[in-house]
Every structure is written in C-alpha cells, then in structure tokens.
Amino acid sequence: MKTVSLRTQINIRIVVTSAIILIFGGIIAIWQARQSVKTELDSSLNLAAQLIQINFHEAANSGSINANAWLPRFVSLEQTRHLIIEIRQPDGQIVNFSGKRITASEVQPPHWFIALISAQSPKIEQQLTDANGEKLSLIIQADPIDEIGEAWQESRMFFATLLMMTLITFIAVNLLFNKSLMAITVIVDSLKAIEQGHYRQKLPEFSTQEYDNIARAINHMTGVLDDTHRENKALTLHTLQIQEEERQHLAKELHDELGQSLTAIKIMAATAKADQTKTEEIAHTIISVCDHLITVVRSMMRNLHPLVLTELGLKASLEDLLNHWSQRYPQLALTLQCPDAVDRLKQNVTIQVFRIVQECLTNIIRHANAHEAKVTLEITTNNVLRLIVSDYGQGCSLAEMQKGFGLLGMRERVKSLDGELAIKTEPNQGMTITADIPIV
C-alpha cells in the first residue's frame, strides 16, 4: 500500500473542501443573482409602465403630447436602464427608445453565465392615444444584460475572494506544516537513535505544547529504558560472576570432597588387598566415607537443582526448603501455606517460584534479623498464582533495596512469567513481597 504524506493529505482535503464550497457557493450565487435580476426587471418594468401611463394620460388631457419628444427624456432616467421601450405607430412602424447604456469599458459576461441567469424576459404592451387621436402601441420589454453584468462582477469578486482564501489557507497550512515537520523529523531521528540503543539522548523542548508533551514522554521513556538497561547489564554481569563463583565452588567441592574421598577409598582398598586382616575395619571406614560423599553430593544437587521439585512437586519442595532452613536456623520460625493445586503448575512456573522463595528466605536470614517469616501461595479465581513472603524483621527503605541484585533477579523472574512484583516495607515494620503470576 502506497503511503501518502500528511502534508499531501491535508492539501487534498483543502482542495476538495474549497471545490465543494465553490460549487455550492456558485449555485447559491447564481440562484440569488437570478432572483435579483428577475426582481429588478419586474420592478423596473412595472414602474416604467405606470410612469408612462400617468404621463401620457396627463399629456393627453392637456392636449399637448408628443411621444417622440417625451420618451427619449424618459428612457434616459436611471430607473429605465434595464428596459427596451418601443412605440408602434398606426402605420406599423416601430420606433425604439432603448434605455440601455453600456460603455465600452464594461466587461461583458460570458454566454454560459447569461444563459444561467436569464429567464424569459417579461414584456408589456399598452395602447395609448396621442393628442391627435392616433392609436399608439407602447411596448416595454426587460433587457437583463446590465443586471446580469452586475451579477457577473459580484460573482467574479466572490470566486476571486474564495480562491484568495484558498491560496492563503494553503500558504498558512504549509508554513505550519514546515514547522511541525521539522519537529516530527527531530522526534523520528531521536526514536531511531533510541532504536540503536542510545538511551541517553534527550529531545529538546518544543514551543508547541503537543510536541513538547511528546518530547517529555519520550525523554521519560528513554530515562526508564536507560535505567533498565544499566540494571540489566549489572544483573547480567552479576549473574555471570555468580555463575563463575558457583563453578569455582563446585570445582573446589569436587576436588576437596570427592577427589580426596575417592583417593582415600582407593588407598584403603589397596591396603585391604595387601593386608586382609584389617578388611572389616577398612570396610567400616569406606562406608563412612561413602556416607559423607552422599551427603556432599545431595547438598550439591540441592544447590544446583532440587530433585524433589521434579519428583514430588512444588509444595513438597517448599516444605523441604523450609525444613532445611529451620534446621540450620532454629531461632527463625518458618510457616508455609500452600494448596495441593500448585503441584499441577507448569515446570517453568514452579522452578521460578521456588527460586523466588529461596531468594526471599536467603535475604530474610541475611538482612531481616527476623524471628518469624511466612510463605503463602494461593490460586485466585482469575487463574493467578499469588505468592506472598512476609517477615517481621527490621525492614528497610525501598531506596536501600534498589542497590541489591536479589530484588532485580526476582523482578526478572516474575517478568519472564508475565507477572507483577510488589514490595511493601518500612524501617522496623518488616517486609512483604507479593508476586502475581498468571497461570493460564
């Protein structure tokens, strides 16, 4: 689909609107001119007929009427300029007394305009008797050419005014668009820069309020994007650092625990082979080392991925997690409220919820100085899994929490599930973390 610029669309609409106004205005102007010409001609015709009748009647009573001498003076009046006055003498000869006075400087209207304005010209014929008793026929016929010429002049002025207004509108709109398009160009260039990742580029202030509001909104958006980008970058680096630390820790565990234990088992097996008298003692020692290895491996597996989460579900995994922390920190009372329905959740949801609870408990133990904490899971009627982790510790301000990576990690986990995370905390008032995750 071919796109059309906004300037072209507006100009087309101006032209179409002006054409419609011109057409309807022309129709109305022609109708009004037609009515005006008809009214003017009828009025002039009736007035001339009455004046001629009165003057001929008075002249006939006085016995001194001369139509050939009186009518030329009469038709020279301004009121008779739209009329053609003729006298038919008894012998049939027509004497014309035209009141038409068109100078060479006047502009003749075009034929199509005359055809639209002109109607059937009214005509009056009266019988008169002069002083000699001769019967004369007075013929008065309307001649609309002068009135049509005036209507043509008015129509030309109307159309010229309309065209001038259209031209002025074109110029004003295009001047305004030049300014607007410059602002739009600046905004588009800024958006292209943002697309390239230049979030710190700011739009200038605009004199037009609407564009300035757009600029403020984009600047706010870029500020948020820049903060989010820096947070994600820091979180990524932190995640890589933690991943490397975990690998180092895993390598150390494997070297210190598994490596040394396997070496000890190998040495004891060689000793038992050489000296069979100590087989029972060596066997007990090997069993003890193997029990220690099992404990180490389970601890490592729990840290990497809790097998109970896959085998028994989310509820059992959370119970095992809370029991593990309760054994390590008996001074912290941990309670769990969780329905059995959470075990039917998708695996990607369960692992993220488990890690969020794990992070929350870690933060409570490290920073909250709390004596009680509560973990609550529920499935609402609108298919939303709500996780609430509350502690009754010392709390803190939200500004202090922004500095840590634990909150960022939890936010990213919840965001990956299209959920929302809310935190409520105040100094000495504990902390409540709420996560709403859709499970549809």
Reported as a single tens digit per residue, the pLDDT across 369-422 is: 888 899 999 998 888 999 999 988 887 766 666 556 677 788 888 888 889 998
**Separation of alpha carbons 323 and 306, rounded Å:** 14
Looking at every residue in the chain, the average pLDDT score rounds to 77
Is 330 a member of any domain?
yes
Number of domains in the chain: 3
Instruction: Please tell me whether residues 23 and 117 are part of one structural domain.
Output: yes
Is 266 a member of any domain?
no
Instruction: Please tell me whether residues 160 and 211 are part of one structural domain.
Output: no
In angstroms and rounded to an integer, the radius of gyration of the C-alpha atoms of the chain is 53
Between the CA atoms of 66, 69, 74 and 77, what dihedral angle is there, to the nearest 10 degrees? -170
Instruction: Please tell me whether residues 68 and 168 are part of one structural domain.
Output: yes
Identity of the residue numbered 277:
T
Quick one: which of 424, 419, 333 has its CA closest to 433? Answer: 424
Q: Please answer whether residues 203 and 218 qualify as being in contact, where contact means their C-beta atoms are separated by less than 8 angstroms.
A: yes
Stated pTM of the model? 0.49
pLDDT confidence bin for 435, thresholds 50/70/90? very high
Instruction: Please tell me whether residues 121 and 203 are part of one structural domain.
Output: no
Is 38 a member of any domain?
yes
Instruction: Please tell me whether residues 59 and 94 are part of one structural domain.
Output: yes
Structural domain containing residue 58: 6-172
Contacts of 408 (CB under 8 A, 6+ apart): 231, 234, 235
Identity of the residue numbered 123:
K
Asked if pLDDT for residue 64 goes beyond 60, the answer is no
Instruction: Please tell me whether residues 161 and 205 are part of one structural domain.
Output: no
Quick one: which of 370, 405, 367 has its CA closest to 390? Answer: 370
**Separation of alpha carbons 256 and 241, rounded Å:** 22
pLDDT confidence bin for 95, thresholds 50/70/90? low
Cβ contacts of 47-50, under 8 Å, gap ≥ 24: 47/79, 48/74, 48/79, 48/80, 48/83, 48/85, 48/140, 49/124, 49/126, 49/140
Instruction: Please tell me whether residues 45 and 160 are part of one structural domain.
Output: yes
Q: Which residue stretches of 63-100 are H helix?
A: 67-75
